[in-house]
Structure 1
Amino acid sequence: MPYPTPDDIAKAAPLIAPHIRATPILSVPPEALGLPVPITLKLEHTQVTGSFKVRGAFFNMLTRTVPAAGVVAASGGNHGAAVAHAATKLGHKSRIYVPRAIAKEEKLRRMRAFGGEVVLTDGSVAECMAEYAAYAEDSGALSVHPYDSVPTLTGQGSVAREIEAQTGGIDTIFVSTGGGGLIGGVASYFRDRVKIVSVETEATNTLERSLREGPDIDVSASGVAAGSLGGPRLGIDSFEAIRAHVDKAILVDDAATYAAAQRLWDGTRLVGEPGSAVALAALTSGAYTPAPDERICVLLCGGNAEPDWFTHP
């Protein structure tokens, strides 16, 4: 099977546990967010580097040989921060390639603060990925792919296992999708035991378009969530898990994303980055109507953004 099993993920969890946070959940009553049902928020944006990505970064480096050249990654920010942090903590060098067109200063600061060497690239996200891959081949550095590898999916899937243990069980989970590493890991763990809903913006519709057209696409991401969810295509292993186990693909617009972030702040005093707000926007925009007794979890995937980003659309 091209993607991890639930047992693979269960075995990975204790290996990475000393290096990450077991992030909390928050039960939110209907009136707080103006929804018809209560929901559970998984506060993964409070992870040690501000996003779920640190799970996969550590699992890659703890289970693969890291050469003297260190590690290399491509990222809009969250994956780069995670790789830089994990590499520094484990005593390795790291180089992160970032597309200049979607680079956000807050995320660049995070990557550098965690010890990564940041290389800004011109052109598209796909061209950035090509530059990073070429450096990995030329230098011998360990490539830590943001979404297209089984170790990455295995590490990211640990968040689903954590949610299940914390909640005692859910019916539906809402996950923002970029390259598919997070939702691929979640799908690999939950399989068909939980309804898995992907949420993207109309301008970052990698998964929704892949399900319609097949995986051989090149999405030019734009809009408010491009820095979080701007994958040009889904990973091969991610796509297999998604095609097998993701139940629904929802698109929201940028206005709904800003509104969801504002409602999250007003109702809970939590701030996430645009990628986190996208998942919530499926509910706050009315794109998804839950059943009266549906046990819903929204995964707030990251928090690496200026804290007032949603106040000036």
Structure 2
Amino acid sequence: MSDWDTDLLGDGITYDDIKAATERAAGHIRPVTVAPVAPGTFRTASGEPYEVWFALEYMQYTGSFKARGAQNFIQAHREAGTLPDAGVTIASGGNAGLACAWAAQQQGVRATVFLPSVAPAVKVAKLREFGADVRLVGAEYAEALEACEEFAASSGALAAHAYDHPLIAAGAGTLLEEVHARIPGLDTVVVSVGGGGLFAGVATAARHHGIRTVAVEPENSRSLNAAIEAGRPVDVPVDSVAVDSLGARRATALALHAVRENDVHSVLVPDAEIVRARQALWDRRRVAVEHAAATALAALTAPDPAYRPGAGERIAVVLCGANTDPGDLVRPAAGS
């Protein structure tokens, strides 16, 4: 992290950071589409309806919200004159690397992406389509990260991060700005949490607009929930069907700061409900999303919901990523 980045971190991100990111993102990212769920579909335990909208962020460039933070990161460094000739570099197992490579290509910047050697060939191919220099190192993410850090130190390339950076989190917060503008009277936003970049940005923007944030994690990958209990970021074991996107062992200080500053409910959902919510999105709406995206919805759809809305509450559920293999969603027709 550069000295400029360190100065940016402070105690967390502010609404001004998100407004600046919104201005940078204009014309560079795909504005989110929101879709209302049919009235009466969702009801409280006493049978009273509440209103649910889906924020279809899985339709974003590169298939996830990560494109927002990557654009903000690169553009902010360009504005500050801190973007080196060596370009940017990142270690990633998936969405963050794709977003970084895409944003770099959009801005005419070199990107070097480090992946573990077991990375899916389809992701490697897509990264190369974005013009990235792809380097496969080691069998685990940690080894790719170490190689990325060594490359940044030796080449002078600017090191990006998947989620633990104020510019990345502020870029993610632009999503809530758009959702707020499209859903008048929004009461609550429900968002899944991994390391906390999306959550920190969304919760910061939500607080400015008087909107509650519900942070949803798998029961066995609960880095933010554990940090709230401990009062500080702590390491947790990760074991979930959504671990490819929600597998951070430690929540960021940015995310914990957002919890302390904002109206936030932290809830946990079991893997079985994540799988069920993801399948229901496909069966009923032909929407194919990652398990991470379905995690947010599972907070409302479980038989014993992790979050219980009030009557008439207006809720936006963020469906945040589409980089998934849909093969396990397609069920054979009866009699086939």
Pairing 1:51–2:64 present: yes
Q: Go from structure 1 to structure 2 and tell me whether the alpha carbon gap of 1:106 and 1:303 turns closer, same or farther (over 3 Å shift).
A: farther
Deviations 1:287-312 (A, max 9, x none): 22211111111001111111234458
Q: What are the within-5 Å matches in structure 2 for residues 270-281 of structure 1?
A: 270-281=287-298
1:187 is paired with a residue whose SS is helix
Q: Go from structure 1 to structure 2 and tell me whether the alpha carbon gap of 1:238 and 1:289 turns closer, same or farther (over 3 Å shift).
A: closer
Checking the alignment, whether the CA contact within 8 Å between 2:233 and 2:256 is kept in structure 1 is: no
Q: What are the within-5 Å matches in structure 2 for residues 17-166 of structure 1?
A: 17-30=26-39, 36-64=49-77, 65-99=82-116, 103-122=119-138, 125-126=141-142, 128-166=144-182
1:308 is paired with a residue whose SS is helix
Checking the alignment, whether the CA contact within 8 Å between 1:126 and 1:232 is kept in structure 2 is: no
Checking the alignment, whether the CA contact within 8 Å between 1:56 and 1:156 is kept in structure 2 is: yes
Which AA in structure 2 matches 1:62? Q
- Of residues 287, 294, 306 in structure 1, which corresponds to 2:325? 306
Distance 1:294 1:218 in 2: 35
Runs of 4+ in 1 over 6 A off after TM superposition: none
Which AA in structure 1 matches 2:195? G
- Of residues 12, 22, 27 in structure 2, which corresponds to 1:3? 12
Q: Go from structure 1 to structure 2 and tell me whether the alpha carbon gap of 1:111 and 1:55 turns closer, same or farther (over 3 Å shift).
A: same
RMSD: 2.4
CA shift for structure 1 position 24: 0.5
Deviations 1:123-177 (A, max 9, x none): 6655544443333223211111222221112111111111110112311111111
Deviations 1:78-130 (A, max 9, x none): 111100001112112212233567x4555444333323333344466555444
Checking the alignment, whether the CA contact within 8 Å between 1:273 and 1:304 is kept in structure 2 is: yes
Which AA in structure 2 matches 1:241? A
- Of residues 6, 16, 19 in structure 1, which corresponds to 2:25? 16
What is the aligned partner in structure 1 of residue 249 from structure 2? Answer: 232
Checking the alignment, whether the CA contact within 8 Å between 1:172 and 1:195 is kept in structure 2 is: yes
What is the aligned partner in structure 1 of residue 7 from structure 2? Answer: none
Count of matched residue pairs: 311
Where does the alignment leave 5 or more consecutive residues of structure 1 unmatched?
none
Distance 1:24 1:191 in 2: 22
Identity of aligned residues (%): 39
Checking the alignment, whether the CA contact within 8 Å between 1:218 and 1:232 is kept in structure 2 is: yes
Q: Go from structure 1 to structure 2 and tell me whether the alpha carbon gap of 1:200 and 1:309 turns closer, same or farther (over 3 Å shift).
A: farther
What is the aligned partner in structure 2 of residue 262 from structure 1? Answer: 279
What is the aligned partner in structure 1 of residue 240 from structure 2? Answer: 223
What is the aligned partner in structure 1 of residue 3 from structure 2? Answer: none
Checking the alignment, whether the CA contact within 8 Å between 1:3 and 1:153 is kept in structure 2 is: no
Where does the alignment leave 5 or more consecutive residues of structure 2 unmatched?
1-9, 332-336
